Amino acid sequence: MRVGDLNSGAAKLSLAHRALMLRWEAAKEQWNDAASRTFERERLADIEPHVSQVLEATKRLAEVLEKAQYECGRD
CB 65 within 8 A of CB 8: no
Distance between CA atoms of residues 30 and 59, nearest Å: 37
pTM over 0.85: no
Domain ranges of the chain: 6-65
| Local confidence pLDDT in tens for the 75 residues of the chain | 455 688 899 999 999 999 999 999 999 999 999 999 999 999 999 999 999 999 999 999 999 988 988 899 865
